Amino acid sequence: MGKLVKKIVRSINVDLDKCNGCRACEIACAAYHAKPRYSSFNPNRARIRMVIDAQNDEWVAVRSTNYTKAECDGRRTYTINGKKYSECSFCGMICPSRDLFKEPDSGLPLKCDMCEGEKEPLCVQICSRNALTYEEREVEVEADEQVKPDEMELGLQSLIDKYGMQKLSDAFARMSQKG
């Protein structure tokens, strides 16, 4: 039994009924995470994306969560108020089965960091319709030494998956020597 510690859980809640499909969340996210900051408004660089199927009245903002090198079986469908959603519509995994949450130039994973340091994530700030809302709550959890990987680590992981550890460490060593 581990020690109980207090922890702030931060989450973005999505009210699908309030979404008007404007995709401003994508734009704000891409802008905030661009380097230099605000230098790009390209939705393809966003860590939150709208899954849209207008004919099915499907407008779902989904936030990238974690990277995986494998596809899941992903064949479940959910019917809500007569509208059929695929399992992928709600899934934030950065996976090989779809072209979401991948940096358009490098293909490296893009992970939501909740806009660390801002009062609210930018996607929430720009969503005047309140389809996206931000919540912080304090919970007591067992102390967990494991640190969740950040975006850079996910990027490294995806490179390892693609090229193998040996090649990557060779390249790293070579580049380190060059300074």
Partner 1 sequence: MRYAETGYNLEVDLSRGNIEKVETDRRLTELHLGGNGTAAKIIWDRVPPEVEAFSPDNLLIFSAGLLVGTPVPGCNRTMVDTISPQTNFFSHSIFGGYFGPELKHAGYDKIVIRGKAPDLVYLWINNDKVEIRDASHLKGKGAQETAAIIKEELKDPRIQVAAIGLAGENRLFMASIEHVNASAARGVGSVMGDKRLKAIAVRGTKDLQVANPEELFKLCLKHSQDMHASPFVGDLMAIEWNDAFHHDNFAWGNARVRRKGFWTQEIEDRWKEYTLKIRDRLQGCYNCPKNCHLVVKPPGRQRYILKCFGKGTWHMAAFKEIDFTFDILALSQEYGVDSYAAPQVIAFAIELYEAGILTDKDLPDFPSDSGDRFYYLLEKLVRREGIGDVLANGVYRAARQIGKGAEEYDHNTIKKFEQVPIKLGRVNYPYYLMYCTSDKMAINQTEGSYPQDPIADPVERQKFVDEWIAAPERFKRYFMEWEPRTNPSVEASINICDWNETMHYVDDATGLCAFCSSFRGQFGGGTAYHIYNIPAFINLAAGMNIDADDLWQIARRNRNLVRAINVSRGLRRADEKPPEDHWKIREPEKEKELLDEYYKFKGWTQDGIPSKATLDKLGLGYVAEEFIRRGILTGNEDNLYTETPCYSDEKQKENMQFSALRKSSEFTLTEYLKKNK
Among the residue ranges 52-60, 66-74, 135-143, 161-169, the one whose residues contact partner 1 (CB under 8 A): 52-60
Q: How far is the CB of 145 from partner 1 (least distance, A)?
A: 39
Q: DSSP string of 13-81?
A: EE-GGG-----HHHHHHHHHHSSSTTS---GGG-SEEEEEEGGGTEEEEEE---B-SS------EEEET
Q: Is the Cβ of residue 13 or residue 39 nearer to partner 1 in the bound state?
A: 39
Q: Is the Cβ of residue 24 or residue 108 nearer to partner 1 in the bound state?
A: 24
Is residue 129 within the footprint of partner 1 (CB under 8 A)?
Answer: yes
Is residue 87 within the footprint of partner 1 (CB under 8 A)?
Answer: no
Is residue 92 within the footprint of partner 1 (CB under 8 A)?
Answer: no
Is residue 142 within a helix (H) or strand (E), and if so which, with residue range? strand 132-142
Is residue 53 within the footprint of partner 1 (CB under 8 A)?
Answer: yes
Is residue 123 within the footprint of partner 1 (CB under 8 A)?
Answer: no
- Beta-carbon contacts of 72 under 8 Å, excluding residues fewer than 6 positions away, are 93, 95, 97
Report strand pairing: 83-86 vs 132-142. Answer: unpaired
Q: Which residues in this chain contact partner 1 in the complex, by CB under 8 A?
A: 17, 19-24, 27-28, 31, 34, 36-45, 51-57, 59, 99, 104, 125-126, 128-129
